[in-house]
Amino acid sequence: VADANLATELSEIGVILLMFGVGLHFSLKDLLSVRAIALPGAVVQIGGATLMGLGLGLALGWSVGAGLLFGLALSVASTVVLLKALQDRRLVESERGKIAVGWLIVEDIAMVLALVIVPSIAGLAGMTEAELNDPFVNFTERLLGIELGIVGVLAVTVIKLAAFVGFMLVVGRRVIPYVLHFTAHTGSRELFRLAVLAIALGVAAGAAYLFGVSLALGAFFAGMILSESELSHRAAQESLPLRDAFAVLFFVSVGMLFDPMILLTDPLPLLATLFIILIGKSILAFLIVLAFRQPVGTALTISASLAQIGEFSFILATMGIALGVLPPEGRDLILGGAILSIVLNPLIFWASDKLRPAFEAWFPHKSDVLKVEPSVSATAAEPAAPVVEEAEAAPHPTALSGHTIVIGFGRVGTVVGEGLLTAEAPFLVIEDAEARVSAARAAGIEVIVGNAAGPKVLGLANVAEAKMVVITIPNAFEAGQAVEQCRKQNAGLAIVARAHSDEEEEHLLHLGANTVILGEREIGLGMLDLVLRDSSAVAEVVASDAVAAALGTPIQAPRVPAVIAPPERKEPLVEGPLTQADDEQAGEPDAMDVAQIAGPLEAEALLEEIEAAPVQHADTGPAEPPAVVSAYGEEPD
């Protein structure tokens, strides 16, 4: 790379887009929901790691100020590395992922305060001749006619941060969605993509220059505000390619700063630094999470997520060198520890997954069985008993057998649960979100509160004698863990799961799922069902008979002849007709009356049949269907 500064600037764009994407999937409600553990946990972890770094600095003969700055740099994890690890494991939208991201947001806010306070403390303490040049502080001093001390500088920083948050919640919440909606109505995909990038970069830059907060934090709030809009999913898809491309440059810029000679010149201090990052911080975070009575799986995920350092550490090290507080050796140790911890972080995640069963055995009172609801009939008329804490009552296993276990009670799980209630089929729900547990309990459904990937929770659900497990959670990684545990406890169990891609489907089938349903595929099959009907009846078809019956609102959709009359064939395309029972078992509507096409067809064969078939219209002459034009100016998927 000809210009190292250019690589650093481009990597900042990657950080901005990455944080913007996280904000799109992390609403303000989610951030507030984890504040009880993320806020105190991050503060305690930062304090503990700073003290460990201070001890190492004093052992190396540094000053107290250098040791504190060194420890502070080791205390904050890399947002880029953490998010990449969570995304690879599909944990960003899980409860563990939300806690980890919330933890990092608190650390980022703390570092924003540190970047303003440290120069002031260094200057006031006489550790540096550098002059504080904060325009907000200078303006306040001129306005009040006094010189602000450490407390005054801290107050100004808090006011700036509060002003930015208030501005985004009041003004940004109205302006950002309006701009994107207006852009979307133009029908230009390129203009919409440009608007998304302009919002991400513009808000980040404005946050940094107008309010003095970090670029990453500004981009995160921009995405979080936009997450409340119906266009958030589309905005995430548009920013994904550029986000990944620029995020790679972050790691390139870090590698350019690393001096490999430190491995030979200072091996023991580097190993001590690496020990604090990988072991010290991980143990501290693990104990903090367990202290809040969180599952062992959550504690291990948080510990592995924090076992690295990154961008804020580099900024603190650079600032320490500029202020004359941190010796050059400290910057080299920080860079070396960052490089090695980033490289070793995937191994930490791998080790945490392997050690999870052992840790759950060592900490049974802090494992994934936190709360368990007493057994009640799945079809009971009265609401279930309140959830009780483990300390108050021992967990009660279900009395059901030959039943269905529904894992997750979100939008999909609610539909499945309501259908099973209507059919009076024995079932129970495994869920760990308090609001969803309350909703299921209010409907009279037996609920076991906990992580479905834990063997003890599945034991309480009596998975060994269950007939079927329906996994409705959207996270394929956690769904895979549940599939694997269910298969271990019941080899003959029927397992149904959901996926969003062919790769996820293959992953779940490999772990032991019998059937994996892709939402997009089912939508396509439903649309194909309507295509094969008479066009005059399309408006009257609202839902299939099977789905309507499950919802308790049967709909009498008229039977109509097929729109497409397939050509005569001497041999059937498939062997044997598809009976109504088979049709219902496959989960497809039974109202599809196609003369010769009696079974499921391969996509290519079906397209050949459609192209070769004469089209039957209700009117007397052939009619050309209206052209479908995408609003983006491209062919639709």
pLDDT digits (tens, 9 = 90+) for 321-355: 877 888 888 888 998 898 889 889 889 988 888 88
Answer whether residue 298 is part of any domain. Answer: yes
Residue 284's pLDDT is 93
41 plus 96 within the same structural domain: yes
What count of other Cβ atoms lies within 10 Å of the Cβ of residue 377? Answer: 15
Same domain, 110 and 247: yes
Say how far residue 166 (Cα) sits from the centre of its chain.
25
Confidence category of residue 405, pLDDT binned at 50, 70, 90: very high
Whether residues 355 and 503 fall in one domain: no
Residues 568 and 458 in one domain: no
Final residue of a structural domain among 319, 335, 365: 365
Q: Which of 244-253, 254-263, 502-511, 582-591 has the lowest mean pLDDT?
A: 582-591
Cα–Cα dist 507/480, whole Å: 7
Supply the range of the domain harboring residue 195.
4-365
CATH no. for residue 238? 1.20.1530.20
Give the CA distances from residue 141 to residues 109, 160, 163, 323, 593, in Å, rounded to whole numbers and listed in that order: 24, 15, 19, 22, 81
Domain-ending residue, one of 365, 385, 409 = 365
Helices (H), 307-451: 311-323, 328-362, 411-422, 434-442
Q: What is the pLDDT of residue 21?
A: 72
DSSP 512-574: T-SEEEEHHHHHHHHHHHHHTS-GGGGGG--S-HHHHHHTT----PPP---SB-PPP-SS-SS
Give the pLDDT confidence score for residue 4 in this predicted structure: 61
Vertex 269, ends 267 and 271: CA angle to 5°? 65
| pLDDT tens string 425-473 | 999 999 887 778 888 888 889 999 887 877 788 889 999 999 999 999 8
**Is residue 70 very low, low, confident or very high in pLDDT (cuts 50, 70, 90)?**
very high
Whether 85 contacts 110, CB under 8 Å: no
Distances (CA, A) of 20 to 23, 235, 410, 486, 592: 5, 10, 25, 36, 44
Instruction: Say how far apart CA 295 and CA 451 lie, in whole Å.
Output: 8
pLDDT at 584: 40
425 & 504 share domain: yes
> pTM here?
0.54
Find the farthest-apart pair of alpha carbons in the chain and give their distance in angstroms, rounded.
Answer: 98
| Measured distance between the N- and C-terminal CA atoms of the chain, rounded to whole angstroms | 39
For residues 412 and 375, state if they share a domain: yes
199 and 341 housed in the same domain: yes
Kindly state the average pLDDT of the residues 65-71: 90
The pLDDT tens digits of the residues spanning 592-602 come to: 343 343 344 45
Q: Is residue 531 part of a domain?
A: no
> Cα separation of 99 and 288, whole Å?
13
**Residue range 361-379, pLDDT digits in tens:** 787 644 443 443 333 333 3
Res. 242: pLDDT tops 50: yes
Question: Based on the domain organization, do 303 and 393 belong to the same domain?
Answer: no
Output phi, psi for 468, to 5 deg: -155, 150
- The pLDDT, as a whole number, for residue 1 is 47
Positive/negative CA dihedral, 428, 430, 431, 432 = positive
Residue 240 within a domain: yes
pLDDT at 470: 95
H-helix or E-strand containing 52?
Answer: helix 35-59
Question: Comparing C-alpha atoms, which of 597, 70, 607, 89 is closest to residue 305?
Answer: 89
- What b/e string do you get for 531-545 counting C-beta neighbours within 10 Å, with b at 16 or more? ebbbeebeeebebbb
Residue 132 lies in a domain: yes
Residues 341 and 436 in one domain: no
Q: Are residues 295 and 391 in the same domain?
A: no
Number of domains in the chain: 3
| 514 token code pair | 């019998």
**66 lies in some domain:** yes
Least confident of 13-22, 318-327, 507-516: 13-22
Sign, Cα dihedral of 546, 547, 550, 556: negative
Nearest to 166 by CA among 40, 28, 34, 18: 28
Q: Say if CB 344 and CB 277 are below 8 A apart.
A: no
pLDDT of residue 274: 93
Residue 405 has phi, psi (to 5 degrees) of: -110, 120
Choose one of 365, 385, 415: the last residue of a domain: 365
- How far is residue 370's CA from residue 448's CA, in Å, rounded to a whole number? 10
**Encoded amino acid at 411, one letter:** R
Q: What is the pLDDT of residue 239?
A: 66
456 shares a domain with 355: no
Residue 527 inside a domain? The answer is no
Q: Is residue 505 part of a domain?
A: yes
Please indicate, yes or no, if residue 89 is contained in any of the structural domains.
Answer: yes
Residue with tokens 């303006």: 139
Interval 602-626: pLDDT, tens: 545 545 555 555 444 444 444 443 3
Phi and psi angles of residue 462, each rounded to the nearest 5 degrees, phi first: 55, 50
Tell me the backbone φ, ψ of residue 453, rounded to 5 degrees. -80, -10
Q: CA torsion, points 457, 459, 463, 466, in degrees to nearest 10?
A: -110
Say if residues 310 and 382 touch (Cβ distance below 8 Å): no
Give the CATH number of the domain where residue 468 resides. Answer: 3.40.50.720
SS3 424: coil
